[in-house]
Chain A
Amino acid sequence: MASLSGALLGFIGVFIVLRGMSYIGHGLSHSIFGGFAAAQLFAAQFYLIGAGLWGIASALAITSVAKRSRVGADAAIGVITTASFALGVALFAKFGTSGPAFENALFGSILGISVTQMVGLSAISAIAGLFVFFRYRALLFTTFDPEVADVSGVKVGRTDAYLMIILSLSILATLTVVGVTLVAAMLVIPAVVARMLTDSFPRMLALSTIIGTLSGLIGMYLSYYAGVPSGTMIVLVGAAVFAVVLAITGGRGLRRSAGLDAHVEAMAQPAAASR
């Protein structure tokens, strides 16, 4: 389960990181955590569905706010997800008593997973895989060059919305394994490491998934022996892989991953482009 979580987050993370939206993982996981808390109060038995809808609503709100106003995606993420997190926690603090342990949701615990959640995680991984397989070209085009994709007849808005829904579901499904505070790390680390290792998009997608899987697997074992929460160890393994790859590839890897978070930075390099 931990490997599958790592694989899923590593896989989806490639698109998120390349879109310069690394921060959205952090924001959405908190937002979903808020939804988690709130949904338990109103429909305890359906809290996963509630939290999922809460997350999807936040994700779609972010895309639409970022698109329609002068507010950038980072600011939109900051406002919407923290507000959604705060609302959830406030509701829980006021009315909440029971439900899955908060600590498990915060830091992740493989023991806290029910059969339903396992099925859910497997199903969402399958959906994410199929979605990327069938919409691969549209996803790649809209991630690289949304304006030209639009002109070329790609349904950019719809593709973005689907990706946000898949992302929300992935975060929801992996929340109890990796934990709310660390989901964001597993969305970003494998993708960045993979980017440092290759210049090819399909290879980056494969490598990121493999790195996510291995981080999940190794982190899980280590967390058992070290007696620390699983999410913590999974992320530490990911970070260790990052450090090792950085040491091996040195400046070359860093140059490749430069500008992943800031397209603006890449835009400001006409000199490099016209060399």
Chain B
Amino acid sequence: MTGTGVGPALIKLENISAGYDSSIVLSDVTLTIREDQFTGIVGPSGAGKTTLLRVLLGTLPARGGSITTMPGLRTAYVPQLETVNWNFPITVEECVLMSREQGRRMPWASASEKREVAEVLDRLGIAELSKRHIRSLSGGQQQRMFLARALLRDPQLLLLDEPTSGVDVSTRHDVLHLLADLHEDGVAIVLTTHDLNGMATHLPHLVCVHHRIVADGTPEEVIRPDVLEATFGARMDVLEHLGIRVVVDEMREPRFVEGVS
């Protein structure tokens, strides 16, 4: 497993544009998501990361260009925690069970569905929280719950929108390890992030987006001052620490003057 994508193509975007109403957010995007991929879509807010994710999900129609999706592809999606209505009256178990919505099923869970939900919650280490209300979970637990809901669909491709936004450092590590384990198990992963040091530099494959694809490659190929400036519109330096690239802002003005507190 390299994570840079060597397997068969799951989704192929060719010269697509996408946007909302009359504004075009993304143009001329060509990108292939492959079976073995573990990709971070990187860019500043408003650059079109979520729009690209929506095109991959098929919830936002592309304008122009072509999209080829592998027939029968099973996709699952984990939304941003911030967009969820945490006051909704639902328990962890009920939320995870939502994935099972095919055909005319009874409102209540069957014995085998209950077993499957218990298994996936156990796999993600939140089995004891199954009867709790979703609001009572910590950020990391909420993320695990949505991962459980996604995994119940047995996906080949998992898409996540800013999975580490608004969570603390240890939760971020947890999420990253969980995703790496899933990738090891053969799930292709695509996530969006604007967190360069906390997330992006740890991923095997990155796509930098700023209304178009600025760069597409390994962190070594992509985490470079020129690419970052073209993506984020700001000068950044790249250092190396324990084999991992670290991005630092090149702070020119204003400087903090000595003696002034």
Measured CB to CB, the residues of A under 8 A from B are 18, 70, 133-134, 136-138, 140-141, 143-145, 147-154, 195, 198-204, 256-260, 263, 266-267, 269-275
Is the Cβ of A137 less than 8 Å from the Cβ of B98?
yes
Tell me the complex Cα distance, A266–B97, Å. Answer: 22
Which one, A136, A143, A152, A203, contacts B107 given CB within 8 A?
Answer: A136
Q: Contacts A70-B21, A256-B87: A137 and B100 contacting too (C-beta < 8 A)? A: yes
Which one, B57, B81, B88, B133, contacts A270 given CB within 8 A?
Answer: B81
B84 contacts across to A, CB distance below 8 A? 145, 266-267, 273
Is the Cβ of B166 less than 8 Å from the Cβ of A259?
no
Q: How far is the CB of A29 from chain B (nearest CB, A)?
A: 25
Q: Contacts A145-B79, A273-B166: A137 and B101 contacting too (C-beta < 8 A)? A: yes
Is the Cβ of A151 less than 8 Å from the Cβ of B138?
no
Is the Cβ of B91 less than 8 Å from the Cβ of A151?
no
Interface of B (DSSP majority class): loop
The 3 closest A-B pairs by CB, nearest first: A274-B139, A136-B107, A199-B133
Q: Contacts A153-B101, A153-B102, A272-B135: A199 and B89 contacting too (C-beta < 8 A)? A: yes
Tell me the complex Cα distance, A149–B166, Å. Answer: 24
With CB as the reference atom, state the residue of chain A lying closest to B171: A274
Is the Cβ of B89 less than 8 Å from the Cβ of A270?
no
Tell me the complex Cα distance, A203–B138, Å. Answer: 24
B90 contacts across to A, CB distance below 8 A? 140, 144, 199-201
Q: Does B153 contact A (CB under 8 A)?
A: yes
Tell me the complex Cα distance, A275–B81, Å. Answer: 12
Tell me the complex Cα distance, A170–B197, Å. Answer: 55
Tell me the complex Cα distance, A263–B82, Å. Answer: 11
Is the Cβ of A147 less than 8 Å from the Cβ of B94?
no
Q: Contacts A267-B82, A274-B81: A259 and B87 contacting too (C-beta < 8 A)? A: yes
Q: How far is the CB of B141 from chain A (nearest CB, A)?
A: 10
Tell me the complex Cα distance, A143–B21, Å. Answer: 24
Q: Contacts A144-B90, A275-B138: A202 and B107 contacting too (C-beta < 8 A)? A: yes
With CB as the reference atom, state the residue of chain A lying closest to B58: A151
A204 contacts across to B, CB distance below 8 A? 89
B99 contacts across to A, CB distance below 8 A? 152
Which of A153, A259, A263, A270 neighbours the largest number of chain B CB atoms within 10 Å of its CB?
Answer: A270
B100 contacts across to A, CB distance below 8 A? 137
A133 contacts across to B, CB distance below 8 A? 107
Q: Contacts A138-B101, A154-B101: A148 and B138 contacting too (C-beta < 8 A)? A: no
Q: What are 20 sample pairs from A and B whose C-beta atoms fall under 8 A apart?
A: A136-B106, A137-B100, A138-B101, A140-B90, A140-B98, A144-B88, A145-B98, A148-B77, A150-B59, A151-B59, A151-B76, A154-B101, A199-B91, A201-B90, A201-B94, A266-B87, A273-B81, A273-B86, A274-B81, A274-B139
Measured CB to CB, the residues of B under 8 A from A are 21, 57-59, 75-77, 79, 81-91, 94-95, 97-102, 104-107, 133, 135, 138-139, 142, 149, 153, 165-168, 171
A269 contacts across to B, CB distance below 8 A? 86
Tell me the complex Cα distance, A154–B102, Å. Answer: 8
Which of B76, B84, B85, B95 neighbours the largest number of chain A CB atoms within 10 Å of its CB?
Answer: B85
Tell me the complex Cα distance, A195–B79, Å. Answer: 24
Tell me the complex Cα distance, A203–B58, Å. Answer: 34
Tell me the complex Cα distance, A151–B54, Å. Answer: 9
Tell me the complex Cα distance, A275–B101, Å. Answer: 30
Q: Contacts A148-B79, A260-B87, A273-B81: A141 and B101 contacting too (C-beta < 8 A)? A: yes
Q: Contacts A151-B59, A151-B76, A154-B101: A258 and B82 contacting too (C-beta < 8 A)? A: no
Is the Cβ of B105 less than 8 Å from the Cβ of A198?
no
With CB as the reference atom, state the residue of chain A lying closest to B81: A273
B82 contacts across to A, CB distance below 8 A? 267, 270, 273
B85 contacts across to A, CB distance below 8 A? 144, 259, 263, 266-267
Which one, A153, A200, A266, contacts B86 given CB within 8 A?
Answer: A266
Tell me the complex Cα distance, A136–B90, Å. Answer: 14
A134 contacts across to B, CB distance below 8 A? 104
B21 contacts across to A, CB distance below 8 A? 70
B135 contacts across to A, CB distance below 8 A? 272-273
A201 contacts across to B, CB distance below 8 A? 88-90, 94
Tell me the complex Cα distance, A149–B59, Å. Answer: 10
